[in-house]
Chain A
Amino acid sequence: EDQVTQSPEALRLQEGESSSLNCSYTVSGLRGLFWYRQDPGKGPEFLFTLYSAGEEKEKERLKATLTKKESFLHITAPKPEDSATYLCAVQAGGYGQNFVFGPGTRLSVLP
């Protein structure tokens, strides 16, 4: 069965304190790995798509990397507005659009 786990469950950082979020997955044929940001009371907002091991993508203070078993979301010098829940999702192989989401990491950045 395709599974996605994320760690830590929650993370509190001081403004400017860099850290990383982890997404581990077991899927039958990875077609893509996605990172989303979700603010309270809102729908997930797309951040990145990664397709193959070794791939990296950056957007402002965020950088996503991918290996064969996990992905990391690195946050450099975070600001309070980066506070949100970060969701990892994988699209597994096979017929159709089989998306599996992880439980998310709740990030709080304190001023």
Chain B
Amino acid sequence: DTAVSQTPKYLVTQMGNDKSIKCEQNLGHDTMYWYKQDSKKFLKIMFSYNNKELIINETVPNRFSPKSPDKAHLNLHINSLELGDSAVYFCASSQGLGMSYEQYFGPGTRLTVT
């Protein structure tokens, strides 16, 4: 069984469109995250949610909005897409807060904005 899943795996869209990426984890974890991996392969944390509450927002444009309907899901909505939003987006989860908890990553969603 897949631990952290994301849909879609690939997403091609035009500038100005609004899109969503879905993430689900079946590990029973309390904390979920969204990361962006750019063309230089740097992974940068965008958001984390713990028990449906936002923990971090790392200077991400407000065009990006995470939405968590329940503890197992953390979706990413992106409004007015820009060329610079093209990247691979990873969802991850961990058992909880604290330094002892490793993160489990999904397979990634490659977003291409044309």
Contacts and interface: CB of A to CB of B under 8 A. Distances in A.
Binding between chains A and B: yes
A46 B99 contact: no
Interface in B74-114: 90, 92, 97, 99-100, 102-108
Contacts of A36: 105
A87 B43 contact: yes
A104 B40 CA distance: 10
B41 A85 contact: yes
B55 interface: yes
Contacts of B105: 36, 43-45
A79 interface: no
B99 A44 contact: no
Dominant SS among interface residues on chain B: strand
Interface size class of A (residues with CB under 8 A): 20 to 34
A34 B102 contact: yes
A51 B99 CA distance: 8
Contacts of A43: 4, 90, 92, 105-108
Interface residues of B, number: 25
A45 to B, nearest CB: 7
Given A97-B31, A97-B97, A98-B56, A46 B103 contact: yes
Interface string B33-71: 100000011111100101000011000000000000000
9 contacts: A43-B92, A43-B108, A44-B103, A45-B105, A46-B103, A96-B48, A97-B97, A98-B45, A101-B42
Q: 9 closest Cβ contacts across the A-B interface?
A: A43-B105, A32-B99, A31-B99, A101-B43, A46-B102, A96-B56, A44-B105, A96-B55, A97-B48
